[in-house]
Amino acid sequence: MNTLRAQLGQTDPDIFAALLAEEDRQRRGLELIPSENYAFPEVLALLGSAFTNKYSEGYPGRRYYGGQENTDIIETLARERACALFGAEHANVQPLSGSPMNQAVYLGFLKPGDPILAMDLSHGGHLTHGAPVSHMGKLFDFTRYKTDGEGRIDFDKVRALAKKTQPKLIVCGHSSYPRDIDYEAFKAIADEVGALTMADVSHTAGFIAAGLLNNPVAAGFDFVTTTTHKSMRGPRGGLILCKKEHAKTLDASVFPGLQGGPHMNQVAATAVTLKLVGEPAFKAYAHGVLVNAKALGKALAARQVKLVTGGTENHLLVIDTAASFGMDGAEAQKLLDQIGLTTNKQVIPDDPRPPMRPSGIRLGTPAPTARGMGEAEMESIAALLTAALCASDREKVLPALAAEAEALCGRFPVPGL
Q: How far apart, in whole angstroms, are the C-alpha atoms of residue 390 and residue 394?
A: 9
In the complex with ligand PLP, the residue whose CB is nearer, 28 or 152, is 152
Q: How far apart, in whole angstroms, are the C-alpha atoms of residue 342 and residue 325?
A: 18
Active-site entry in 27, 55, 303, 404: 55
> Are the C-beta atoms of 221 and 190 separated by less than 8 Å?
no
- Cα Rg, the chain, nearest whole Å: 22
Determine if 76 is a binding residue for ligand PLP (CB under 6 A): no
Does 227 qualify as catalytic in the annotation?
A: yes
> 31, 200, 320, 351: which one contacts ligand PLP (CB under 6 A)?
200
Touching ligand PLP, residues 103-142 (CB under 6 A): 126, 128
> 29, 32, 35, 190: which one contacts ligand PLP (CB under 6 A)?
35
Helices (H) and strands (E) in the chain, counts: 17, 14
Segment contacting ligand PLP (CB under 6 A): 42-50, 198-206, 321-329, 384-392?
198-206
Long-range contacts (CB closer than 8 Å, 24 or more residues apart) made by 75-83: 75/262, 75/264, 75/267, 75/271, 77/271, 78/267, 78/268, 78/270, 78/271, 78/274, 81/271, 81/274, 81/275, 81/278, 82/239, 82/241, 82/274, 83/241
Segment contacting ligand PLP (CB under 6 A): 25-33, 41-49, 66-74, 94-102?
94-102
Region class of 242: left (phi > 0), else alpha (psi between -120 and 50), else beta: beta
> 92, 202, 214, 346: which one contacts ligand PLP (CB under 6 A)?
202
Does 164 qualify as catalytic in the annotation?
A: no
Q: How far apart, in whole angstroms, are the C-alpha atoms of residue 78 and residue 266?
A: 11
Determine if 175 is a binding residue for ligand PLP (CB under 6 A): yes
Determine if 54 is a binding residue for ligand PLP (CB under 6 A): no
Q: Give min distance, CB of 317 to ligand PLP, in A.
A: 15
Does 55 qualify as catalytic in the annotation?
A: yes
Binding site for ligand PLP (CB under 6 A): 35, 97-99, 102, 126, 128, 173-175, 200, 202-203, 227
Q: Which residues have a catalytic role annotated?
A: 55, 57, 200, 227, 230, 236
